[in-house]
Structure 1
Amino acid sequence: MSGKFEHELELDVPASTAWDLFGTIRIGEFVQKEMPSLFQKVELVEGDGGVGTILKLTFAPGTPGPAFYKEKFTKIDNENRIKETEVVEGGYLELGFTLFRVRFEVTEKGEDSSIVKSTVEYELKEDALANAPIASNAIQSLASIAQMAKLHLNKNKLANQPN
Structure 2
Amino acid sequence: MLGQLSSELKISAEASQVWEIISTLKLAKLVVEEIPDVVTKFDVVEGDGGVGTVLKLYLSPDGPGFSSYSEKFTKVDHEKLVKETEVVEGGVLDIGFTKYLIRFEVIDKGEGSCIWKSTIEYEMKEEFAANASLVSIKPLESIMETVEKWLTNHKA
Q: TM-score, normalised by structure 2?
A: 0.97
CA-based RMSD of the aligned residues comes to: 0.8
**Structure-2 residue corresponding to 1:13:** 13
The answer to whether 1:47 aligns with 2:39 is: no
**Residues 27 and 72 (structure 1 numbering): CA distance in 2 closer, same or farther, change over 3 Å?**
same
Does the CA-based 8 Å contact 2:38-2:60 persist in structure 1? Answer: yes
The answer to whether 1:150 aligns with 2:139 is: no
Q: TM-score, normalised by structure 1?
A: 0.93
Residues matched between the structures, number: 156
**Structure-2 residue corresponding to 1:37:** 37
Does the CA-based 8 Å contact 1:65-1:134 persist in structure 2? Answer: no
The Cα shift of 1:65 comes to 4.0
**Structure-1 residue corresponding to 2:3:** 3
Where structure 2 has 5 or more consecutive residues not aligned to the other structure, the ranges are none
| Pairing 1:54-65 to 2, within 5 Å after superposition | 54-65=54-65
Residue identity (%): 48
**Structure 2 CA distance for aligned equivalents of residues 155 and 114 of structure 1:** 17
What secondary structure sits across from 2:89 in the alignment?
A: strand
**Structure 2 CA distance for aligned equivalents of residues 77 and 111 of structure 1:** 23
1:54-108 CA distance string (max 9 Å, x none): 0001101111242211000000100000000000000110010000000100010
Where structure 1 has 5 or more consecutive residues not aligned to the other structure, the ranges are none
Does the CA-based 8 Å contact 1:109-1:115 persist in structure 2? Answer: yes
